[in-house]
Amino acid sequence: MSSVSETSAPVEIAVAGSGDVDRSDAPNVFETRDLAVYYGDFRAVREVDLDIRQHEITAFIGPSGCGKSTVLRCFDRMNDLIEGARVEGVVSYHGVDLYGPDVDAVEVRRRIGMVFQKPNPFPKSIYDNLAFGPRLNGVKKKAQLDDIVERSLRRAALWDEVKGRLKASAMGLSGGQQQRLCIARCVAVEPEVILMDEPCSALDPIATARIEELMQEIKRDFTIIIVTHNMQQAARVSDRTAFFITEVNPESDRRTGCLVEYNPTSKVFSNPDDERTEQYVTGRFG
């Protein structure tokens, strides 16, 4: 981690206050216990305990290389696709071990959607991008597909902008529109959870604001976990925040990601439990 002078002005962050809402009775969608992820013999992340609550937005923050995206990919088993990767500990989804021998990883990814850092629309029409997943799931009737496409685009606040050109290529949309299309494509198959890996890092401030507004609207229907390097964004949109750092592995000179603090966002940014969290959110290291 690079150090910042102690004389640097603290970073001022306005917290939206969504973390003050009492959701103590909300059920947990995910629970991790002693979660560790290895790439070959390298331990990338160690001992992560998290409870992710339903219909909340959870933000993962921390410096580069601290394991935020690695942990995120545990929830939809995307790490399975990386050669040599293995997961230890427990990752449960509604009490079911996601890594149990009888769990179908493809079904996991149907229930748990993902939006990536860069917009990745298919080189197809806007309509076909939205209809792709439902068709794979067996939806054949045009009227049903039409309804799914419109409903998904409305959920992504994109319908009014594209309703007159559904047969046009999705590649002709702006970057922000493409990212909202990817969110619409994700919700078209009705997942319960949406994972977002730095979804706004390639977007301008106006497009970023629209994505953040969209997240607040759709969390009524979905549970959202977002990885972000933008602390202001985490403060604006999330209910809870998990702060990760890297520490030197005592068994080698390589660094391993670890969870420092996981609390309501308002607490993380105003009165954190750990001094390292305070130093990070005020810009004294990172």
Mind listing the pLDDT tens digit of every residue in the chain (286 residues)?
Answer: 333 333 334 444 445 545 445 556 789 999 999 999 999 988 899 999 999 999 999 999 999 889 999 999 999 999 988 989 999 999 999 999 999 999 998 889 989 999 998 899 999 999 999 999 999 989 999 999 999 999 999 999 999 999 999 999 999 999 999 999 999 999 999 999 999 999 998 888 998 999 999 999 999 999 999 999 999 999 999 999 999 998 876 666 678 899 999 999 999 999 999 999 999 998 876 5
Q: Give Cβ neighbours of residue 173 (< 8 Å, ≥ 6 apart).
A: 121, 126, 162, 181
**pLDDT at site 15:** 52
**pLDDT at site 72:** 97
Q: In whole angstroms, give the CA distance from residue 163 to residue 186.
A: 18
Q: Residue 253 is part of which domain span?
A: 27-120+190-281
Task: Tell me if 152 is assigned to some domain.
Answer: no
pTM confidence score: 0.88
**pLDDT at site 7:** 35
Q: Where residue 248 sits, what CATH number does that domain have?
A: 3.40.50.300
Is the Cβ–Cβ distance between 221 and 194 less than 8 Å?
A: no
Q: How many CB atoms lie within 10 A of CB 251?
A: 9
Task: Tell me if 112 is assigned to some domain.
Answer: yes
**pLDDT at site 6:** 37
**pLDDT at site 5:** 35
Task: Tell me if 227 is assigned to some domain.
Answer: yes
How many structural domains is the chain composed of? 1
Q: Which two tokens stand for residue 234?
A: 């985490």
Task: Tell me if 98 is assigned to some domain.
Answer: yes
Task: Tell me if 17 is assigned to some domain.
Answer: no
Task: Tell me if 101 is assigned to some domain.
Answer: yes
Q: Which two tokens stand for residue 99?
A: 């890594």
**pLDDT at site 26:** 80
- Spell 153-187 as b/e; 16+ CB within 10 A means b: bebbbbbeebeeebeeebeebeebbbbbbbbbbbb
**pLDDT at site 255:** 82
Give pLDDT tens digits for 233-274.
Answer: 999 999 999 999 988 766 666 788 999 999 999 999 999 999
Task: Tell me if 2 is assigned to some domain.
Answer: no
Give pLDDT tens digits for 124-144.
Answer: 999 999 999 999 989 999 999
Task: Tell me if 204 is assigned to some domain.
Answer: yes
